[in-house]
Structure 1
Amino acid sequence: MSTKMQDLMFGSMPLLRHEPTEMRIRVSDGVLQVADTTRAVLVWEPRRIVPSYAVPVADLRGELAAGTLPSIPAPERILDPGIPFAAHSCDGEAVDLVIGDTRFAGAGFRPQDPDLAEYVVLDFAAFEAWLGEDERLMAHPRDPYHRVDVRQSSRTVRLELDGAVVAESNRPVLVFETSLPTRFYLPREDVLAELTPTERRTACAYKGQASYFTVAGYTDLAWTYLEPLDGATGLTGRIAFLDDKLDVFVDDRHRDQPHSPAAELFRDRFGLKDT
Structure 2
Amino acid sequence: MASYPGPLVPAGHLEPAPRRVRAVLGGQTVLDTTGAVYVWEWPPYPQYYLPAADLAPGVLVLQDQIDERPLGTARRVGLRAGEVSRPAAGHLHTGDRIPELAGLVRLEWDAVDAWFEEDEEVFVHPRSPYARVDALRSTRHVRVELEGLVLAESAAPVLLFETGLPTRYYLPRTALDLTHLRPSPTVTACPYKGRTTAYWSARAGGTLHRDLAWSYDFPTRELLPIAGMVAFYNEKVDLVVDGVRLDRPRTPFSDGGA
231-240 or 90-99: bigger deviation = 90-99
Question: Is 2:212 aligned against 1:212?
Answer: no
Per the TM alignment, residue 59 of structure 1 is displaced from its structure 2 partner at its CA by 1.4
What is the letter of the counterpart of residue 105 of structure 1?
P
- Name the CA shift for 1:67/1:269 in 2 (closer, same or farther; >3 Å): farther
- Name the CA shift for 1:6/1:245 in 2 (closer, same or farther; >3 Å): closer
23, 30, 34: which is aligned to 2:30? 34
What is the letter of the counterpart of residue 62 of structure 1?
P
- In terms of fraction of residues, the more helix-rich structure is 1
Taking structure 1 as the reference length, the TM-score comes to: 0.79
Per the TM alignment, residue 213 of structure 1 is displaced from its structure 2 partner at its CA by 0.7
- In terms of fraction of residues, the more strand-rich structure is 2
Question: Is 2:246 aligned against 1:255?
Answer: yes
- Name the CA shift for 1:89/1:199 in 2 (closer, same or farther; >3 Å): farther
Question: Is 2:104 aligned against 1:119?
Answer: yes
Question: Is 2:47 aligned against 1:52?
Answer: yes
Is the 1:158–1:249 contact (alpha carbons within 8 Å) kept by the matching residues of 2?
yes
How many equivalent residue pairs?
Answer: 245
- Name the CA shift for 1:60/1:255 in 2 (closer, same or farther; >3 Å): same
Per the TM alignment, residue 242 of structure 1 is displaced from its structure 2 partner at its CA by 1.8
CA distance in 2 between counterparts of 1:58 and 1:70 reads 20
CA distance in 1 between counterparts of 2:83 and 2:148 reads 61
- Name the CA shift for 1:6/1:168 in 2 (closer, same or farther; >3 Å): closer
Identity of aligned residues (%): 39
| Partner-residue secondary structure (3-state), 1:232 | helix
CA distance in 2 between counterparts of 1:65 and 1:48 reads 30
| Partner-residue secondary structure (3-state), 1:234 | helix
Long gaps (5+) in structure 2: none
Per the TM alignment, residue 180 of structure 1 is displaced from its structure 2 partner at its CA by 0.4
CA distance in 1 between counterparts of 2:210 and 2:7 reads 35
Provide, for residues 160-182 of structure 1, a one-character-per-residue CA deviation record: whole Å limited to 9, x for no partner: 21122221111001111101011
CA distance in 1 between counterparts of 2:81 and 2:71 reads 27
17, 20, 23: which is aligned to 2:16? 20
- Name the CA shift for 1:48/1:99 in 2 (closer, same or farther; >3 Å): farther
CA distance in 2 between counterparts of 1:239 and 1:226 reads 10
Residues 160-199 of structure 1 aligned to structure 2 (within 5 Å):
160-194=145-179, 195-199=181-185
